[in-house]
Amino acid sequence: MSITKEKDLSQIVETAVNRHGTHGDALIPILLEINEEYGHIPASALQDVSGKLHAGENGTVVSEGQLFSLASFYHMLSTKQRGEHVVQFCESAPCHVQGGRELRQAIQEYLGLAAGETSPDGKWTLVTTSCIGLCGVGPVIIIDEELYGNVTPEQLPDIFARYE
């Protein structure tokens, strides 16, 4: 994820809307692009996007509430600033029975974070997600875009050291 705070948020929104269009099927691609470029999707971006998009054939304006619902539903999007590295922990049943509960506890202790929190130094954000789809190699974590399967608590120091 390339977080570019120097870029003007309104320019990021404008570029995303121009690239993906102004109809309802462009909502997620636009939000993804804003999230990637800015690091999260602030309320002002939702307001700006809402004013530019139209859903359906009658051109109904897409509300900020609809956009917020999308932005807060999908784990790959965030309405809050996230850390430099985002750790996603799969909390599905298959991961849970393969040691996921112990791994989640170890991650929380190692980072000093609960799910949904970002470290004070802005380095880490811990989020939980439902099934990642890699049940055969559970428990699974994703750090940024790197997947780790069959993770044990003992492996965490080596895994996190890669991001120091």
Kindly give, in sequence order, each residue whose CB lies less than 8 Å from that of residue 5, ignoring residues fewer than 6 positions away. Answer: 38, 39
Q: What's residue 22's pLDDT?
A: 87
| Region 102-111 average pLDDT | 95
Sequence ranges of the domains in the chain: 9-73, 85-161
Class of domain 85-161: alpha beta
CA distances from 147 to 13, 43, 127, 132 (A): 30, 30, 14, 10
CA 97 vs. chain centroid, Å, equals 25
Q: What's residue 4's pLDDT?
A: 45
How far is the C-alpha of 121 from the C-alpha of 141, rounded, in Å?
21
Name which residue leads in pLDDT, 125 or 59: 125
| Region 35-41 average pLDDT | 90
pLDDT at 62 exceeding the cut of 60: yes
**Neighbouring C-beta atoms of residue 47, cutoff 10 Å:** 12
Q: What's residue 56's pLDDT?
A: 53
pLDDT at 39 exceeding the cut of 90: no
pLDDT > 70 in the chain, percent: 91
pLDDT at 161 exceeding the cut of 90: yes
| Region 81-93 average pLDDT | 90
Q: What's residue 76's pLDDT?
A: 81
pTM of the model: 0.75
Mean pLDDT of the chain: 88
How far is the C-alpha of 164 from the C-alpha of 158, rounded, in Å?
10
- The answer to whether 13 touches 45, Cβ cutoff 8 Å, is yes
pLDDT > 90 in the chain, percent: 52
Question: In the structure encoding, which two tokens stand for residue 13, read together?
Answer: 């929104």
Q: How confident is the model at residue 84 (pLDDT cuts 50, 70, 90)?
A: very high
How far is the C-alpha of 106 from the C-alpha of 154, rounded, in Å?
9
pLDDT at 1 exceeding the cut of 50: no
